[in-house]
């Protein structure tokens, strides 16, 4: 991964335990009989896949509840590891704060790329070469391009070609159909089998995976969602929201109905949503406009949870004086400030013991 050369000396981190493992998964059996003389044939063999890869670190005297970090679409656990200019990401920042941290690559992505199903035409970002650097840069609101086609980063994203290249090298391609119910099921296995309760931290398209996991497990104790969107928000099936349409309608925020009894599980845990800057409905920048529709949906989501007795908060960072962030705000120049903001919320909710 290309990276700007930046050195930031900090005190050593003392780790009590670290490692990696897989969770979930299944296999499909091919018909026939395996024969050593035709060992490359699928006959009689299994195809394994649909698991998550998890890397974890537990600091000495860790807090009671660990953080489980769920990445967004076309990404991997690298989202949380390091910034594009070589500073610590949320992974190390929260280990320093005393939390055990679990980073996962969701099924059919990153280090968990084996799939029991073939790629389908609707699999997002499935092709190599992946000619999409300008698309992904603009949709993520990281910046624009000047008249000569040179990328110009917004205020909080590190400047320069090395940072741009590092950003583009972080994308992954889908190795099988996107299935967020599968992703939620596997995330729940991690929560239930490896922890006595956990706080989910999600990003972007991972938002819906977090909501769905909370419907499936009482061990989800809170959700911190960084710019959730790109996949459906959950609503009671008889209280569906108004869809605010983007200029390119397919980019509009979306919603999925669930039974009221299921939805009310989201009212039983604290939830916070954070959104960055450069979000504007009707903007000529398709990313700014797209995320305007997601923010509109998020406001309805939070209002609906609270209407039914929940504890949901939406923080639009420019409204509290934090400006210049893109969709990848956890990896930008002020990521320590944002980590502190999240930590303060955890303390306020009694989740930092």
Residue range 100-145, pLDDT digits in tens: 999 999 999 999 999 999 999 888 888 899 999 999 999 999 999 9
How distant, in Å, are the alpha carbons of 68, 69, 95, 228 from that of 80? 11, 8, 12, 15
Q: Is residue 8 over pLDDT 60?
A: no
Confidence at residue 218, expressed as pLDDT on a 0 to 100 scale? 98
Q: What are the structural domain ranges in the chain?
A: 61-93+118-348
**Rounded to two decimals, what is the model's pTM?**
0.96
- Average pLDDT for 330-350: 98
Confidence at residue 332, expressed as pLDDT on a 0 to 100 scale? 98
Beta bridge partner(s), residue 226: 203, 274
Measure the N-to-C terminal CA separation of the chain; round to a whole number of Å. 36
- Average pLDDT for 137-154: 96
CA dist., res. 43 & res. 180, Å (int): 30
For residues 328 and 291, is the Cβ–Cβ distance under 8 A? Answer: no
CA dist., res. 210 & res. 271, Å (int): 10
Q: How confident is the model at residue 10 (pLDDT cuts 50, 70, 90)?
A: confident
Q: Is residue 326 over pLDDT 90?
A: yes
Beta bridge partner(s), residue 46: 29
Q: Which of 333, 279, 351, 288 is nearest to 157 (CA)?
A: 333
Residue range 47-87, pLDDT digits in tens: 999 999 999 999 999 999 999 999 999 999 999 999 999 99
CA dist., res. 94 & res. 330, Å (int): 12
Backbone angles phi and psi of 95, in degrees to 5: -60, -40
- Find where tokens 């959104």 sit: 275
DSSP per-residue string spanning 36-89: GGGTTS-TT-EEEEEEEEEEEEEETT--SS-EEEE--TT--THHHHB-TTS-B-
DSSP per-residue string spanning 224-278: EEES--SSPEEEETTSPPPPPPPSSGGGS--EEEE-HHHHGGGGGSEEEEEE-S-
The residues near 57 (Cβ < 8 Å, ≥ 6 apart) are: 15, 17, 18, 91, 95, 100, 101
The neighbour count for residue 52, using CB atoms within 10 Å, is 28
Confidence at residue 124, expressed as pLDDT on a 0 to 100 scale? 82
Mean pLDDT of the chain: 96
For residues 216 and 85, is the Cβ–Cβ distance under 8 A? Answer: no
Confidence at residue 5, expressed as pLDDT on a 0 to 100 scale? 47
Q: Which of 253, 242, 251 is nearest to 304 (CA)?
A: 242
Confidence at residue 1, expressed as pLDDT on a 0 to 100 scale? 45
CA dist., res. 154 & res. 79, Å (int): 18
Residue range 203-227, pLDDT digits in tens: 999 999 999 999 999 999 999 999 9
Residue range 249-272, pLDDT digits in tens: 999 999 999 999 999 999 999 999
61-93+118-348 — its CATH code?
3.40.50.1820
């Amino acid at each position: 991964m290309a990276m700007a050369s930046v050195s930031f000396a900090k005190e050593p981190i003392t780790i009590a335990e670290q490692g990696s493992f897989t969770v979930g998964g299944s296999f499909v059996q091919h018909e026939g009989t395996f024969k050593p003389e035709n060992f490359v044939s699928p006959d009689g063999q299994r195809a394994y896949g649909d698991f998550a890869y998890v890397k974890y670190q537990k600091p000495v005297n860790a807090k009671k509840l660990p953080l489980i970090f769920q990445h967004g679409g076309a990404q991997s656990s690298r989202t949380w590891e390091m910034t594009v200019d070589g500073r610590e990401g949320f992974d190390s920042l929260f280990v320093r704060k005393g939390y055990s941290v679990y980073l996962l690559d969701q099924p059919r992505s990153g280090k968990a790329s084996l799939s029991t199903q073939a790629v389908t035409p609707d699999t997002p970002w499935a092709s190599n070469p992946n000619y999409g650097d300008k698309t992904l840069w603009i949709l993520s609101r990281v910046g624009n391009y000047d008249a000569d086609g040179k990328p110009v980063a917004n205020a909080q994203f590190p400047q320069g070609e090395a940072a741009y290249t590092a950003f583009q090298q972080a994308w992954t391609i889908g190795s099988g159909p996107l299935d967020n119910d599968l992703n939620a099921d596997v995330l729940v296995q991690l929560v239930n089998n490896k922890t006595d309760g956990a706080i989910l931290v999600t990003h972007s398209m991972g938002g819906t995976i977090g909501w769905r996991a909370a419907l499936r497990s009482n061990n989800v104790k809170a959700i911190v969602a960084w710019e959730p969107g790109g996949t459906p928000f959950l609503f009671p099936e008889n209280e569906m929201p108004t869809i605010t349409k983007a200029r390119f309608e397919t980019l509009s925020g979306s919603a999925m109905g669930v039974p009221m009894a299921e939805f009310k599980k989201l009212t039983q845990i604290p939830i916070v949503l954070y959104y960055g800057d450069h979000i504007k409905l009707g903007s000529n920048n398709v990313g700014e406009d797209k995320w305007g529709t997601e923010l509109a949906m998020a406001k309805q989501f939070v209002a609906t949870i609270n209407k039914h007795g929940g504890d949901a908060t939406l923080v639009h960072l420019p409204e509290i004086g934090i400006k210049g962030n893109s969709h990848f705000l956890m990896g930008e120049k002020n990521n320590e400030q944002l980590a502190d903001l999240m930590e303060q919320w955890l303390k306020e909710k009694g989740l930092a013991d």
